[in-house]
Structure 1
Amino acid sequence: MKGKYTRVTLSMLLALVLFLVGCNSNEKTVKEDSSSNSDEPVTFTLFSADPHSQWDNMESPVSKKVIEETGVTINAEFDVSGGEQKIPLMAASGEYPDFILPKGSASTLVDAGAFIDLTDLIDKHAPNLKKIYGEYIDRLKWSKEDPSIYILPTSAVDHTYWAPGNGFMLQHDVVRDLGYPEIRTVKDFENAIKEYMKKHPTIDGQPTVGLSLLADDWRIQISTTNPAFYATGASDDGEFYINPETHEATMHYRRPEEKEYFRWLNHMNAEGLLDPESFVQKYDQYLAKISSGRVLGLIDTDWEVADAQRALREAGKEERMHGMYPVTLTEEYKHHNFQDTGYLGGWGIGISVDCEDPVRAIKFLDFLASEEGQILQNWGIEGENYEIVDGKRIIPEEEMNERNNNANYVKETGVGVLKGFAPYYGDGVTDSTGQTYTIASPEQIKDAYTETEKEVLKNYGVEMWKDLYPQKEEFPVKEWGAAFNIPVEAGSDLELVMQKCLDIVKKRIPEAILADPDDFDKVWDKFMKDLEKAGVEDAEKAYTELVKERVELWNK
């Protein structure tokens, strides 16, 4: 953490504030039953723990249309470090913006009394929110002991996944140049990178980079550590592996198979195939490097590298864009990208106790969840971004090219800018006209592929990247959803131990990967002992109880 504050100091400060909040709980009057009934323009403040590279300051055509329909403007602040510093300080100060998207830190704010219970507001003023959540409304309840609704999950409802979001990524030119070799295991992935680098030590006059990882702050979990789940036959549950039979939680690095995955990364480094800047580069440097076209391999999510992929396409370097492959440590494992979590409660947006007009606020979110709001966010404005032909929304070819090739399309048009602020219907869900809310369909996805992508997929005998992966029918639905969505009490022993363990992970994982191969076991043993000293076993027991409570709450 930057500055003079330590995690413990913030936790102690937060504990004191929570005590004071409890002693003075009547000092703030929650105005959830009041309504201005006004159409006057209003500005709501918003804090998001995630960055937003396409934020338009509500000045784009679509955002202006939303303002016209609702009278609401959003004055937003987007954090670059996951809210890890700002949310505890926010809770300690007792001063909040109107809307908060806290990511995984909702417990800190709930325990501080920062959020209002949205149950009655939804019932009285939000028919579209009630409709979109439908049978999943009980999953919005905070806990078994506290059935309040503090957070409106902003993930897609009833989503059909037509594209993998996680995997090992290889430049199209790599597989094309090598005659489309099988890319199934880490060894296949490694061999492709190694062979191509021998043939092409430079790209556009710059040194070729084999595999680049990202370890910038919280993003170390996205690109460096959590892929170990998928590579060893499990789905991403944050910091814990959840036994599907017993629901017991284990800090996932303590699984023997994951040790072997990180040993492979250590081997990649020893072979000179790993980007030496992997553990020092910042996110913008990582994206810039990918955008240059000289990074052959990535292990990442589609959303984290989306801007770089768009930049490559916009620059006419479609052969330098990356395909997504279901790579695992060995063939005995299946990649769990498509395992069904069911609808996820947990991460989303809340309305704070400092909001002067929570009724107006919930109505704004309700508009975003309405059919009109959903069409605006997915399709844009009729006559500008799409046309109606024979009663169906059609995106003209020129506009679709802009969508696919203009890296700033979202910011310039506003299409999708506000999509992360409210729940939305997933791909495949149809509106009152029988047409899908989203533009994504198998046909549209395939039409959006570059010619190089189509060539690569054809040579692998499939039509879509999804076709390379094990399908969701091959896995049971996860009864607990995703473990990283389970709130952990702020300031609790569990939260403190988890933070200690994560600090150890951020130190030891890069050390293990960069170590001399002969020293890998020694470094790993030290890593495991550090986790044990930090109390990992107690954390596993406590997290197991949370998982079991979640299963009971969701499956009663």
Structure 2
Amino acid sequence: MVLTATALAACTNNQAGNKEKEQEGTTVASTYTLYAPAMTTPINLDGRITQEVMKRSGVQWESVEIGNGGDIAQQMNLKLVGGSFPDAIILPTDSVLWSRLVDEKRLLPLDDYFDRESDYPNLAKIDKRILNNWRASDGHIYFVPSNYEPSVDEPSAWQGNAQGLWVNSTLLEKAGFTAEKLQTLEGFEQFLQALKSQKDAQGRPIIPLSLGGENFSGLPVVMSMFGVRNGGNGWNVQEDGTVVPDYQMPQFKEAFRWLNKMHLQGMLDPETSFHKKDLFVEKVNNLRFGAMLFDGWDNPNLTLMQSHDIPISTPLKTLEAEGFPDNWFIPTPLPVNEGAKLAQYATFNPFGSNGTGLSADISNPDALMKAIDWMQTDEAFILMEYGTEEMGAYKMEDGVVVVNDEVFRGPEFWGGGSGGMASVTAHGFWWWKHLASVGNTHIKTLEPPWPANNAMLYKAEEINREQGTFDLIPATSRMRPIIGGAVEKYSPVQNDIRLQYYARLLLADNEQAFNNAYDQFVNEMKVRGHAEETVAEFNEQFAAYSDTPAGKITVDIKRSLPRNVYEDKPAVTGE
């Protein structure tokens, strides 16, 4: 889908390209084309906020093409074959397509723009660790990241990591346990055993334990209890610097043996191995589970507030004073297998979520980079997030953004059709942050108190930080696979093998059946998954990556900027 701006009708000649043009003695802003294949929300180039963004940035977008919701690689193939490569392209920062575009020399190296402080002061402020993280194998930087942390060592205290152990606080108390008693595997098993005698409001037996939604989504949390990292394709760095996949570690088998034990003893939801997310969420909201090892997001607390006629904006402090509804779920520290150290599963990614690259054939890249430089400012973020001050979604008071939620959640913004996306298309808020923006961690904002259900998610991340399961996204996850290499080729096959054998390991009837399933799993990974080939390639690539600036990145968090979670009145954040 292509939307074309009508604001400019000036003609260009072959020499002018998309450079600034003179029209009756007046300088007209440079015009460009943009392609965002990962986005499916169209943008009206005549929208009020879009027009203001273009005015302040000094560039005009002639056309913006979005994706169709299908495979991005296929869409890119059609774009390249068609010969209509745009002036600028937005892709997820971790997309392997960047490597392909670099190899085909489609992109302009942007290194110089980050060093010219006098001309591009805001690009020059980007932490060199962020830039180094995105350097291509040839040493150049080919895109400007968006939504990165402006101060890597002083990030937001909320990074979206709510994974871990969540328990029904009412059942915890009824069973005579405390959160502290659950921190050993023995204590946790005793709690699950006690839950087997509990019933829900309809008289149905409580299911003691769930692993979350489909495809064993809670498995990284379980593996952490046994000292194994399961996220990011399960690569675990050893003391000697080599990398092994999780399933080749003895603790992996031990963790699945424990899950099989929970299944055989009737502790684990028997539908774990095959249910879909909608069935899981239905059981969650019907309060079927006593404990969940999962990502935290689908807990039933919001449903509980609604069913008890508690306003969904009620702060945690208010509920603590008035009392929580029965069956309120709380995050608690993880149990740890004896002798194990919890493995990381919660990640901190300060490097940005999207990137904008420029065509190697673009005319006047300086003007577009000047616009992108402006888009790194607080002024730009506020405009792209809330619109102009006259639109009423916010006002500035003593340098603090004061949001008017009635407007910001109303029909002109996020209360509009299609979950607010119709308003995004019409006006242009939110959308342009994907082209270029900085994270809002250090923008002073008068934030209302978090609703109690969201405050529990925040508490879960605090627990992850305290117990050591939270850290910088590992280098093994920051590397991009070699295009056409063994890892890229066989990872989908290996993932299919995993899901097939995870179910067999979980549901094995006895120890012999379990051992047979595990041996078959390892053999399948070796033969059909080409394990030896993929492990060798990954280790070779990781060794080389570890010697690059990207591979040597470290972050020492000096402080985390808190959010307004524990008060019952608005408070200024970002300072």
Q: Please say whether Structure 1 and Structure 2 have the same fold, judged by a TM-score greater than 0.5.
A: yes
Q: Distance between the aligned counterparts of 2:187 and 2:373, measured in 1?
A: 48
Q: Distance between the aligned counterparts of 2:106 and 2:395, measured in 1?
A: 44
* Structure 2 counterpart of 1:76: 66
Q: Distance between the aligned counterparts of 2:503 and 2:78, measured in 1?
A: 29
1:38-437 paired onto structure 2 within 5 Å? 38-39=28-29, 44-48=34-38, 66=53, 69=56, 71-72=60-61, 75-77=65-67, 79=69, 83=72, 98-101=89-92, 103-106=94-97, 107-113=99-105, 115-120=107-112, 127-134=121-128, 136-143=130-137, 146-154=138-146, 156-157=148-149, 158=152, 159-162=155-158, 164-175=161-172, 178=175, 181-182=178-179, 183-185=182-184, 192=191, 195-196=194-195, 198-201=197-200, 210-215=209-214, 223-233=217-227, 238-243=232-237, 245-283=239-277, 286=280, 290=284, 294=288, 297-301=291-295, 305=298, 322-330=329-337, 332-335=339-342, 337=344, 343-344=350-351, 348-351=354-357, 353=359, 359=365, 362=369, 365-376=372-383, 382=389, 384-395=392-403, 411=421, 419=433, 422=436, 424-425=438-439, 427=441, 430-431=442-443, 435=444
Does residue 488 of structure 1 match 2:484?
A: no
**How far apart are residue 46 of structure 1 and its match?**
0.9
Give the counterpart letter for 1:47 in structure 2: P
Residues 500-509 or 61-70, more deviating: 61-70
The gaps in structure 2 that reach 5 residues or longer are 1-14, 22-27, 313-324, 554-575
The change in CA–CA distance for 1:257 and 1:493 in structure 2 (over 3 A counts) is: same
Match of 2:450 among 440, 448, 451: 448
The change in CA–CA distance for 1:520 and 1:329 in structure 2 (over 3 A counts) is: farther
The change in CA–CA distance for 1:154 and 1:513 in structure 2 (over 3 A counts) is: farther
**How far apart are residue 464 of structure 1 and its match?**
4.0
Q: Distance between the aligned counterparts of 2:194 and 2:437, measured in 1?
A: 45
Q: So what's the TM-score if we normalise by structure 1?
A: 0.68
The change in CA–CA distance for 1:282 and 1:340 in structure 2 (over 3 A counts) is: closer
* Structure 2 counterpart of 1:4: none
Q: What is the identity percentage for the equivalent residue pairs of Structure 1 and Structure 2? A: 17
Q: Is the 8 A contact 1:99 1:352 kept in 2?
A: no
**How far apart are residue 278 of structure 1 and its match?**
3.9
**How far apart are residue 290 of structure 1 and its match?**
4.5
Q: Distance between the aligned counterparts of 2:422 and 2:287, measured in 1?
A: 25
Q: Distance between the aligned counterparts of 1:186 and 1:377, measured in 2?
A: 48
**How far apart are residue 251 of structure 1 and its match?**
0.9
Summarize deviations over 1:509-536 as a string: whole Å, max 9, x none.
2332233243222111111122222332
Q: Which has the larger radius of gyration?
A: 2
* Structure 2 counterpart of 1:522: 516
Give the counterpart letter for 2:110 in structure 1: L
Q: Distance between the aligned counterparts of 1:314 and 1:418, measured in 2?
A: 34
**How far apart are residue 114 of structure 1 and its match?**
5.1
Residues 58-67 or 415-424, more deviating: 58-67
Q: Is the 8 A contact 1:351 1:358 kept in 2?
A: no
User: What RMSD, in angstroms, separates the aligned Cα atoms of the two structures?
Assistant: 5.0
The change in CA–CA distance for 1:42 and 1:87 in structure 2 (over 3 A counts) is: closer
Q: Is the 8 A contact 1:233 1:328 kept in 2?
A: no
* Structure 2 counterpart of 1:500: 493
* Structure 2 counterpart of 1:468: 463
**How far apart are residue 249 of structure 1 and its match?**
0.9
Q: Distance between the aligned counterparts of 2:283 and 2:371, measured in 1?
A: 39
Q: Distance between the aligned counterparts of 1:538 and 1:153, measured in 2?
A: 33
Q: Is the 8 A contact 1:240 1:483 kept in 2?
A: no
Give the counterpart letter for 1:370 in structure 2: T
Q: Is the 8 A contact 1:486 1:550 kept in 2?
A: yes
Give the counterpart letter for 1:529 in structure 2: N
Secondary structure of 2:167's aligned partner: strand
Summarize deviations over 1:226-257 as a string: whole Å, max 9, x none.
43553333556612434263321111221111
Q: Which one has the bigger helix percentage? A: 1
Give the counterpart letter for 1:500 in structure 2: V
Q: Distance between the aligned counterparts of 2:219 and 2:103, measured in 1?
A: 29
Q: So what's the TM-score if we normalise by structure 2?
A: 0.66
